[in-house]
Structure 1
């Protein structure tokens, strides 16, 4: 599928003042000497990890990663490289590390961008998510144009679906920036396409050794959730739900996201920082971002939205969301029907992907459509944006890809009416009560 572009970050460099709160993250208090994935801190559970073990020169684990290939110009950031799946650009080094290498000169560069095939990590309601990686930034000699990144992306529409940039640097400056993206483009509460970020700050030794880059999404304060960025266990920047508004925050971050690594060349961010066009004739080929491990950990949630387990989903006038005739055929209509406790009405909300399952398949928008009135059906779970449903505080089930909500067609009270997507209106026929 076509992936949302990683946007341009702010062009001005705003260095943070020193004196950031220093915290001890049990496994992440400083640079890791070894590449093994740290055990989760007490009270946390590992939900995703990769230690990049494998033979030298081999590709990444296809169960954990897919390649985003093609011209960097497709990503909407102004970068000029072509992303490939070649082991010249992306490979394991045989010592437990991932290498992403940019090769080229002038305007002809190749590099790599990998992404988890599905949304593997999210903070449970009332809980926390920590995503961390041990990375050595590129050290290419002359580095104008280098743009390494470790980040997360929600499924569906950008920026509504959310983006969290855990580590970015440009031009081999040995710096780091943490940024979130949300809301609407352009402008909106997250000031898109800049986002809300720390600006570049000093990251001493980050090009010559491994350092940990960490993000914690904290949903324990249900009235003001937050995202905090850490370098080697020291917090340096926090963004809160109150800065952007509850509905915008929920659409962006109250669900699972994918994890990405990439090494871009050129584009708006490096160009804006240097006040020049990058890369230049002096830029050195072969700069490499090296990753020892990546891991995601969560705590147990304490909230009730969405709850675990399966059961009926009730809607307008108490009718239930139902898989017609309990058929498991792809394309089978999803309808409203008299609640009867059958397996066709036993839905499970799965936070890993924010999908709704019944009879082993997923609630799906027919053909990945985005128009008002597009019918909703049952289909094999496939990790596409057509199957992402984000519960809203007003009871709506929001699909970011279409920017629409699950809708009981024409406020129907007739059992057997197939449901659809429609502009989110906060109306009674768009209120759904999860099990």
Structure 2
């Protein structure tokens, strides 16, 4: 369910037994736990086991509200008409292991619904391995004229979209499951390149659809899966429903630049939502939806969402790497359960390009890992508010043996933030300004991350907790 577009209709015996069991579960309404997946490593999941009438885990999810992202395209870029809320009337766990996203209409004809995103935005196929995103979902159980305008979706967006909102579709979008108007069909779509046209034929995308196996998409739970396979050349993207593949795209189908733009960043975040109206359901119906005949109150039910990887370098969903998060008190480690922030001191109108000035410093110690041969990557949430001409800068240093000597120091080009409130993404794509030393295996080593304002006359904010991360090239 992409941010900008005019939508169109468009392993052993144990492993085999497990796959069969999952497929059978998909065709029932019985609650299922996150299934065992022999040969895969579970990276992240949510089973929605909270109490009835509670919001989903704030550790795992952030809730979108309103009619757009701050500064983003209106109506979420799709023409949908509902207002997203964080009300448990629209978004809640049901106490029986499911998440419910319920579109509602008030007495004046105004629609509300819900949309959530994973806080993590680093889901990525490991080099030489496979990423698997999966959800067991029952679409809103409504069909015919009563379903006109319903638009449920389970999908993923490239992480650079957060805080930018103008770089779609280049950063990539994987529509794992979409449906409109209560039709017994699942759509799987890739969006990439430029809009309009380009390698992904935007704003339509490269898609395929099929009816749900056994029972309709609306009447029962089905398992929707997407795989990003980097273990084969060329790489492949694959879409499944209840274990049955119905769509695939090869790296060879798009140009190298387009493929790189949608894969050579920090990774993806996943979304769940039910929109009402918009270009896709309108286009399928042939006129505006929802209509007076549309019946509110039919929820999309989500039993679980999970991410696995298989093969490749390391168990993180990054590329032969470990992911560290800047936290409180200068910690650099695992992601905290909530978002937080810290202030970067003003550069005071002086140029500190390349030299840390009153930096916020984050350190991780006691690291013993094998160098993967890769490079440092990072995604820092930064915001200078309305300050003009501020620029943030980062330096990442490695002490391979923990003896107090920094064996490798990397200083990246500063990032000039815009004078509008709202976080932006500062990533390694800015490029190295300078580097000294070299990397190798770490034994009881340390990593230090320093962030400061290199230029400007105002303070800036750095998102911490689960907002920013640094990926070090070590298994």
Which of 108, 114, 117 in structure 2 is aligned with 1:115?
117
Structure 2 CA distance, aligned partners of 1:100 and 1:158? 25
Matched residue, 1:323: none
Matched residue, 2:83: 82
Structure 2 CA distance, aligned partners of 1:302 and 1:113? 33
Q: How many residues align?
A: 357
Matched residue, 1:202: 211
Structure 1 CA distance, aligned partners of 2:62 and 2:21? 27
Matched residue, 1:149: 153
Unpaired segments ≥5 residues, structure 2 = 11-15, 69-73, 161-166, 324-341, 357-361, 397-421, 436-451, 455-471
Instruction: Identify if the C-alpha distance between structure 1 residues 375 and 91 changes in structure 2 by more than 3 Å, giving closer, same or farther.
Output: closer
Residue by residue over 1:98-148, the C-alpha shift from the partner in whole angstroms, topping out at 9 and shown as x without a partner, is: 000000167510000011122142111111011111111112351000000
Structure 2 CA distance, aligned partners of 1:85 and 1:309? 33
Q: Does 1:247 align with 2:272?
A: no
Structure 2 CA distance, aligned partners of 1:110 and 1:179? 26
Cα distance, 1:386 vs structure 2: 4.3
Please list, as runs of the form range in 1=range in 2, the aligned pairs for 1:375-394 lying within 5 A after superposition.
376-377=393-394, 386-387=424-425, 389=427
Cα distance, 1:377 vs structure 2: 3.2
Which of 130, 133, 137 in structure 2 is aligned with 1:128?
130
Contact 2:383–2:423 (8 Å) recurs in 1: no
TM-score where L is the length of structure 2:
0.65
Cα distance, 1:201 vs structure 2: 2.5
Structure 1 CA distance, aligned partners of 2:43 and 2:54? 25
Instruction: Identify if the C-alpha distance between structure 1 residues 64 and 329 changes in structure 2 by more than 3 Å, giving closer, same or farther.
Output: closer
Contact 2:18–2:36 (8 Å) recurs in 1: no
Please list, as runs of the form range in 1=range in 2, the aligned pairs for 1:274-313 lying within 5 A after superposition.
274-302=285-313, 306-308=319-321
TM-score where L is the length of structure 1:
0.71
Structure 2 CA distance, aligned partners of 1:378 and 1:289? 45
Contact 2:137–2:224 (8 Å) recurs in 1: yes
Q: Does 1:70 align with 2:83?
A: no
Q: Choose 179-188 or 61-70, whichever is displaced more.
A: 179-188
Contact 1:102–1:287 (8 Å) recurs in 2: yes
Which of 15, 21, 29 in structure 1 is aligned with 2:23?
29
Matched residue, 1:42: 38
Structure 2 CA distance, aligned partners of 1:406 and 1:233? 41
Instruction: Identify if the C-alpha distance between structure 1 residues 232 and 85 changes in structure 2 by more than 3 Å, giving closer, same or farther.
Output: same
SS at 1:30's partner residue? helix
Matched residue, 1:8: 5
Cα distance, 1:365 vs structure 2: 6.4
Structure 1 CA distance, aligned partners of 2:20 and 2:424? 38
Which is richer in strand?
Answer: 2
Which of 226, 240, 253 in structure 1 is aligned with 2:236?
226
Q: Does 1:408 align with 2:433?
A: yes
Structure 2 CA distance, aligned partners of 1:164 and 1:54? 28
Query: How big is the alpha-carbon RMSD for the aligned residues of Structure 1 and Structure 2?
Result: 4.1
Cα distance, 1:307 vs structure 2: 4.1
Instruction: Identify if the C-alpha distance between structure 1 residues 366 and 210 changes in structure 2 by more than 3 Å, giving closer, same or farther.
Output: closer
SS at 1:247's partner residue? helix
Cα distance, 1:334 vs structure 2: 7.1
Contact 2:47–2:97 (8 Å) recurs in 1: yes
Unpaired segments ≥5 residues, structure 1 = 15-21, 311-327, 338-342, 390-396, 399-404, 412-417, 421-432
Residue by residue over 1:142-200, the C-alpha shift from the partner in whole angstroms, topping out at 9 and shown as x without a partner, is: 100000000011122322211100000000112110001111222221122221111x4
Contact 1:40–1:297 (8 Å) recurs in 2: no
Cα distance, 1:294 vs structure 2: 0.8
Contact 2:382–2:426 (8 Å) recurs in 1: no
Contact 1:35–1:293 (8 Å) recurs in 2: no
Matched residue, 2:175: 165
Structure 1 CA distance, aligned partners of 2:35 and 2:95? 22
Structure 2 CA distance, aligned partners of 1:366 and 1:111? 29
Contact 2:122–2:159 (8 Å) recurs in 1: no
Cα distance, 1:224 vs structure 2: 1.3
Q: Choose 66-75 or 23-32, whichever is displaced more.
A: 23-32
Instruction: Identify if the C-alpha distance between structure 1 residues 242 and 419 changes in structure 2 by more than 3 Å, giving closer, same or farther.
Output: farther
